[in-house]
Amino acid sequence: MPKFYNFFLIVACELDAFFSALISFIPGRLGNLLRRIFYKCKFRSSKNFLIGTGCKFCSPFNMTLNNSVSIGNNSYLDANGGLIEIGENVSINMNAHINASCGGLISIGDNCLIGPGVLMRTANHNFSMLNKPIRNQGHNFSDIIIEDDCWIGANAIILKGVRIGSGAVIGAGSVVTKNIPSMAVAVGSPARVNHFRHKK
């Protein structure tokens, strides 16, 4: 029985990987519909969402997508060891890399705009032991929290342990290593607050 069960599990995983790859490249409305049907039962929780072509999801059962989430072509989301939670009316542009694979939570609030090529990663490699290869020293991780109504510019990098306050704007190509307050406009590597948005 165990051998048969293991064989069945391997076949089921292979079929799942095959269909995931197949539907990820079907274009047009048909592709959008098939991806919505296929992933609806895989995500931890999901509502109305749109997934572009070429996207890959690792451990989608650890991901929550709220209403009206759009994920652009060739994006990669990995929650193998952690959680990813995406709020309502969030647009994630193409080639985004959102990775909580070693632990921690990535939380994106409502009405956020995530630019093309944005990278978020909850973990860093440990490297303190000089007599041991870095790849064998494991990781340390902590959450990334992006509050409501933020705009993360193209190719920005958001590192572990960062909270970006509501209404903040992160400039294109910036590297965010520390918390950014609400309504701030932050740019650079490392990102620093340039000015604050004000209501007219």
CB 166, CB 183: distance < 8 Å: yes
For residues 58 and 81, give the distance between their C-alpha atoms in angstroms, rounded to a whole number.
10
Look up 125 and say whether it is catalytic: yes
- Residue 193 burial (CB < 10 Å; 0-12/13-18/19+)? middle
Tokens (6 digits) for 25 = 């490249």
Alpha helices per DSSP H over 25-133:
28-40
Expressed in angstroms, the distance from the first to the final Cα of the chain is: 70
Of 97, 125, 195, 198, catalytic: 125
Residues with active-site annotation: 125
